[in-house]
């Protein structure tokens, strides 16, 4: 029985020797081919990524980043927060406020 780490090291050495045997001007295409191949194979223990949800998440992240990058006065943010706290505490079923 062959040790898996030894087999892995041997495979890596063979892969590196093949790369080194390839003329350098083709390394960019070789790298792109390797990346495309890797994307087509199922990876063990890799999270399943829903691309549609990932795009929505990225859109939300971009929106939040744009809000953070706006040059607004900190007092304006505080006023907005104070208004939101007051609005959320109005007409509550509980007598306890959400925010103290």
Tell me, yes or no, whether 2 lies in a domain: yes
Same-domain status, 7 and 17:
yes
Range of the domain at 60: 47-89
Residue 19 neighbours by CB distance under 10 Å: 14
Q: How many domains does the chain have?
A: 2
Question: How high is the pLDDT of residue 30?
Answer: 92
Tell me, yes or no, whether 95 lies in a domain: no
Which tokens belong to 29?
């295409």
Predicted structure pTM score: 0.37
Question: How high is the pLDDT of residue 73?
Answer: 74
pLDDT tens track of the chain, all 100 residues? 456 677 788 888 999 999 999 999 999 999 999 999 988 887 676 666 788 888 889 999 988 888 777 666 778 878 888 898 888 888 788 888 777 6
Q: What's the CA gap between 74 and 46, in Å, rounded?
A: 42
Same-domain status, 81 and 41:
no
Same-domain status, 41 and 69:
no
Same-domain status, 28 and 2:
yes
Concatenated DSSP letters of 50-94: -HHHHHHHHHHHHHHHHHHHS---HHHHHHHHHHHHHHHHTT-SS
Same-domain status, 55 and 40:
no
Same-domain status, 27 and 53:
no
Same-domain status, 15 and 54:
no
Same-domain status, 14 and 52:
no
């Amino acid at each position: 029985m062959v040790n898996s780490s030894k087999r892995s090291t041997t495979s890596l050495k063979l892969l590196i020797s093949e790369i080194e045997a390839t003329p350098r001007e083709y390394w960019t295409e070789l790298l792109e081919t390797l990346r495309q191949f890797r994307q087509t194979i199922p990876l063990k223990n890799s999270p399943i990524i829903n691309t549609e949800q990932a795009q929505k998440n990225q859109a939300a992240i971009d929106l939040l980043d744009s809000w953070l990058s706006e040059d607004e006065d900190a007092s304006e943010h505080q006023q907005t927060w104070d208004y939101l706290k007051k609005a959320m505490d109005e007409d509550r079923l509980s007598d306890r406020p959400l925010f103290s």
